[in-house]
Structure 1
Amino acid sequence: MAEGSVYDVIVVGAGIMGSFTAYNIRRTGKSTLLLEQFPLPHSRGSSHGQSRTIRSAYGSQEYYTKMMTKAFRMWRELEDQSCQILFRQTGLLCIGQKGVNYLDDTADCLQRHKTPFRRLNDAELRETYPMLSYPPEIGGAVIDYSGGLLLSGRALAAVQNQYRKLGGLIHDGEKMVEVIPGEVIMVKTEAGQYRAKAVVLCVGPWANNVLTKLGIAVPLQAQKIRVCYWKEKTPGTFSSRQFPVFSQINAIGPHLVYAVPSEEYPGLVKVCLHYGPSIDPNVRDKIDDSWVVEALQKYILEHIPGLEPFPAITESCIYTNTPDEDFILDHHPSWENIVIGAGFSGHGFKLAPVIGDILAKMATGQTPEQDISFFRLNRFTKSHL
């Protein structure tokens, strides 16, 4: 666009949420600029890496299951547009615990939404998946047959490419330094300044810093997550063709452990703790998180004896958590044309097509079809404007 022009929408943050938001806005013909502080692709945020889990199963949080119906459809649409495979349907094995209602809630929700599933008692679980070792407190499992894994790095590139094909602009390696609200918003970066009728902020772990400057105190916490890959002792045991994605609640203390079968690195299984130490995202790697690997080594020895108990590869990413692990999808309390998408709490990637559609509608004066009352800022924030 010519210097001095006003964009319909500027989206800040080119992770999976910001990229889908910009893409959905651009599909309506609106002029759109997507800003990213790091050169693309990068591994400093929350959207890099090769795989993410995808599922309909969400326990008592049925509003996410409802959103996943549309998300699956939109992922398939992106596959068709990009002529790439982005989703492997392996099923998701949810391992429960005696005395916890999670499996009952999950099965009830899947049944209401007509999602294929199977409930396994302890004996059936041990017979069906003998490569896992189960402690006495295990309370059976649910298989969500809709689940599997997303090829996340490929998916992020695919949505950005589709956005570019529609004429959308991406300025990467350009850090935002200020947002000046108004009827026309000014966005200043280290390289220049831009104007827009609306701005969407999808800035991931940097949300606290950005929102505080806009007069909003949000209880967001960034966590460093150690991503570990473990070698199969017998090649093929945990292939994605015969072994599902799985998650086990209360696996290490109160925290969930999840695993992705051998797919992205041949012969290596991704097993991770859904938790990590609190960090400043600008100095992510200064924190000592060696205890995470040690806890996972013990878990592997006790529960997945078919894997070598030493990680072959370790990587890192960042979660941005809200206290209730629900997202923030809302307008700025004083400026309707500033839209906030934040706090995706380590489970948002699979929902990104729908989140992007919601944020796009909010930024362009439309009403999202989904119920977003669960995601309002005022459930735990106080404006100090």
Structure 2
Amino acid sequence: MSASDYDCIVVGAGIQGSFTAYHLAKNNEKTLLLEQFLLPHSRGSSHGQTRIIRKAYEQDFYTHMMDDSYELWSQLETEANVQLYRRTGLLVMGKEDGPDFESFKGTLLRSGVPNEILDPAQFAQRFPDVRQIEGDGALVDKTAGILYADRALRAVQSVFQRLGGVIRDGEKVVDIRPGFPVTVTTSSAVYRARSLVLTAGPWVNKLLSHTGLQLPLQVEKINVCYWREKVPGTYGVGSEFPCFIRVKSHGAAHDIYGLPSNEYPGLMKVCYHGGSETDPDERDQQSSQEDIKILSRFLARCFPGLLSTPAVVESCLYTVTPDSHFVLDRHPTYGNIVIGAGFSGHGFKFGPVVGKVLCELSLGKMPSHDLSPFRIQRFQSHPKSSL
């Protein structure tokens, strides 16, 4: 095995790690991006053709971070000369006097995000192919739309390499020795660096075990479902139908979200924002179908233009924290190890700004955003943590 020296090593070439490496290279850091699987792959959380991008959030800090993220996405589009975003708007539905819907509305209004609040008559006129649940409110985040996920991942990795960055895929990390420098051993080589960033998604706790740290993270397998339109184009690209979120529908514990047909013509992507706990290395085992039953009931009630049995079911992994907020912090013992984890199924759109702040932490700079909601310290009283 050979030893190679870098300024920084990033482990995990999903969207967060790839953007971290990109920002480090822009800061003239000699950067190595390691990935255990051969690229491209569909074993983690960054694959697939589409994701929702939005400013509509229940928390102001996410909306503020998205201001920065939109600008950085646009910058990458220019650098890579490829379209990564299509604006569709986002329809948010939920119990009008419920705390969740009120939080979405309040954040949009406080932050001055372009929006529309729809009364029932306006809703019926605007979305004739959606049945509004009695007592629901509805609003539209006009800035929202679709990110082309696979295309985005290729673009940021390509620009990173153009900036002199090195990607080594098919190299699984088998050991990490903290110190200065930190030493990373893979299945093929040994590397050293001044700093290390771990963005390994569902595998991050397996890597952290080499550093004496475990975070309270749960890995969930999500069924990614596509539903056939009875009349092609009803909810598709040509119809100008928006993305949507239904906040905790039908007494369910999680939101339901959907995107206009894109991956499969005539099929709309509608998913439940929660899944069944799994081991990331055992993800191909049969998972629970309870979420599909919830989706079928919801679509039969609210989306009469869709068949209520999924035509295609794929899978994705969420790495979920107890509060569903990210982990963006330095290791509590080893300050030159930085951790980005727990993106809880809503992190892809934040990739550019997450990469930016993880780069800043790695370089010892003041983060450009308030990271207090994302500190490891918040878990100290949690029984699963070992700090």
Q: Normalised by the size of structure 1, how large is the TM-score? A: 0.96
Deviation at 1:103, TM superposition (A): 3.0
Structure 1 match to 2:143: 146
**After the TM superposition, which residues 74-223 of structure 1 pair with which residues of structure 2 at under 5 Å, given as runs?**
74-138=72-136, 140-223=137-220
Equivalent AA in structure 2 for residue 273 of structure 1: Y
Unmatched runs of 5 consecutive residues or more in structure 2: none
- Alignment CA distance shift 1:5-1:286 (3 Å): closer
Does residue 12 of the first structure (1) align with residue 22 of the second (2)?
no
Deviation track 1:101-128 (CA, whole Å, cap 9, x = no partner) reads 3333323322232211011123322332
Return the alpha-carbon distance in structure 1 between the equivalents of residues 217 and 3 of structure 2: 35
Aligned partners of 1:258 and 1:274 also within 8 Å: yes
Shift of 1:5: 4.1
Following superposition, the deviation at residue 137 of structure 1 comes to 3.8
- Secondary structure (helix, strand or coil) at the match of 2:352 reads helix
Instruction: Tell me by how many angstroms 1:384 deviates.
Output: 4.7
Q: How does 1:279-298 map to 2 (within 5 A)?
A: 279-298=278-297
Q: Which residue of 2 aligns with 1:261?
A: 260
In the alignment, structure 1 residue 309 sits paired with structure 2 residue 308: yes
What is the CA–CA distance in structure 2 between the aligned matches of 1:254 and 1:127, rounded to whole Å?
30
2:44 — aligned with what? 45
Where structure 1 has 5 or more consecutive residues not aligned to the other structure, the ranges are: none
Contact 1:255 1:273 survives alignment (8 Å)? yes
Residue 71 of structure 1 is matched in structure 2 by: 69
Describe how 1:244-255 pairs up with structure 2 within 5 A: 244-252=242-250, 253-255=252-254
**2:198 aligned partner, one-letter code:** L
Cα distance in structure 1, aligned partners of 2:218 and 2:135:
31
- In the alignment, the residues of structure 1 paired with residue 76 and residue 227 of structure 2 have an alpha-carbon distance, to the nearest angstrom, of 31
Contact 2:4 2:190 (C-alpha < 8 Å) held by counterparts: no
Distance 1:218 1:170 in 2: 27
Equivalent residues, number: 382
- TM-score with structure 2 length normalisation? 0.95
Give secondary structure in 2 for the equivalent of 1:311: coil
Q: Distance in 1 between matches of 2:101 and 2:294?
A: 25
Q: Does 1:329 align with 2:325?
A: no
Identity within the alignment, %? 46
**Which secondary structure does the structure 1 equivalent of 2:328 belong to?**
strand
Task: Report if the CA contact (8 A) 1:219-1:381 is conserved.
Answer: no
Residue number in structure 2 paired with 1:270: 269
Cα distance between partner residues in 2 of 1:289 and 1:107: 33
Name the CA shift for 1:384/1:220 in 2 (closer, same or farther; >3 Å): closer
| Alpha-carbon displacement from aligned partner over 1:269-310 (angstroms, at most 9, x marks no partner) | 100000100111110121432222232222221211101222
1:229 is matched with 226
CA offsets 1:52-95 (integer angstroms, 9 cap, x no match):
00100102x10000000010001111111111111010000000
